[in-house]
């Protein structure tokens, strides 16, 4: 059939194949990307919550709130006068009264040297580290600590293999954190090395993870030794031995 002049030819519309019952419509590309991003964010949130839960259960969970910490050196009037001459006089005075075969220790905090004697015989001389003399102030209550190695005569009260350090408040304050209330968060089983020779008032002859600082005044009052020297001291110096510090 020829269509009349002036009329328009209309093309037949193609039929779309029918979709199965219950089939979901295909989302546009933008919506699909949004869904993927949302799933990724949800996965990251789940991982973060899991990590926080693990830390809270197995350690490192205390609130490390930073606050201002004040470190200072003592003033000139607080420093000992003529330290070298004083060290020599103390060395002579403290080392003189020992018995012939007595094993004892001297600690020269001026030159950072630890010596182990049996009577007049020098068994070992070791480079050590002693107190820094730094003053630390607690910003919460104004309490102060001065990290000096004591002078005078102490005794070895006990010896321990693989000593564990329960860190005091100042160990956290020095790093700018509030001390934790949970005892578990204070336990340190590696900083003291393989052996500890304990004296009164918390002073210890122990090892160190900072071997390159031996020979310097960098400690909080304890005496640090290298691994081999510490092992020798542990095996040689008996409980009850006198320690002369000057």
The rounded distance, in Å, linking the Cα atoms of 242 and 104 is: 5
* pLDDT at res. 74: 53
Q: Quick one: fold of 83-245?
A: L,D-transpeptidase catalytic domain-like (2.40.440)
* pLDDT at res. 52: 44
Long-range CB pairs of 184-187 (<8 Å, 24+ gap) are 184/59, 185/59, 185/60, 185/61, 185/62
**Which residue, 155, 125, 149, 109, is CA-closest to 228?**
125
* pLDDT at res. 100: 79
* pLDDT at res. 235: 98
- According to DSSP, the residues that pair with 87 across neighbouring strands are none
**Mean pLDDT per 10-residue interval, the chain, length 246 residues:** 46 52 54 67 57 41 49 52 59 61 96 97 98 95 95 97 96 94 95 97 97 96 98 98 97
* pLDDT at res. 71: 52
DSSP state of 222: S
DSSP state of 41: H
* pLDDT at res. 99: 72
Q: Which residues contact 191 (CB under 8 A, 6 or more apart)?
A: 165, 208, 209
Phi, psi of 206 (to 5 degrees): -145, 180
Q: Which residues contact 19 (CB under 8 A, 6 or more apart)?
A: none
Domain boundaries, the chain: 83-245
* pLDDT at res. 215: 97
Distance of CA 141 to the CA centre of its chain: 23
Helix (H) or strand (E) holding 137: strand 135-137
Contact 242, 98 (CB under 8 A): yes
């Amino acid at each position: 059939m020829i269509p009349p002049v002036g009329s328009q030819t209309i093309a037949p519309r193609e039929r779309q194949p029918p979709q199965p019952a219950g089939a979901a419509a295909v989302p546009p590309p933008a919506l699909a990307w949004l869904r993927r991003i949302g799933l990724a964010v949800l996965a990251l949130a789940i991982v973060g919550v899991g990590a926080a839960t693990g830390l809270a259960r197995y350690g490192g969970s205390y609130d490390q709130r930073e606050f201002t910490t004040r470190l200072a050196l003592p003033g000139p009037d607080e420093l000992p006068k003529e330290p070298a001459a004083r060290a020599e006089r103390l060395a002579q005075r403290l080392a003189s009264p020992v018995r012939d075969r007595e094993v004892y220790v001297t600690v020269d905090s001026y030159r950072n040297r630890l010596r182990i004697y049996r009577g007049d015989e020098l068994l070992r001389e070791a480079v050590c580290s002693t107190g820094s003399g730094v003053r630390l102030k607690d910003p919460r209550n104004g309490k102060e600590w001065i990290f000096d190695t004591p002078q005078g005569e102490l005794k070895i009260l006990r010896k321990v293999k693989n000593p564990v350090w329960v860190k005091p408040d100042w160990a956290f304050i020095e790093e700018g954190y509030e001390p934790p209330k949970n005892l578990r968060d204070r336990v340190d089983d590696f900083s003291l090395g393989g052996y500890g020779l304990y004296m009164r008032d918390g002073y210890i002859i122990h090892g160190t993870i900072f071997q390159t600082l031996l020979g310097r005044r960098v400690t909080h009052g304890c005496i640090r030794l290298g691994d081999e020297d510490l092992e020798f001291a542990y095996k040689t110096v008996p409980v009850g031995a006198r320690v002369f510090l000057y």
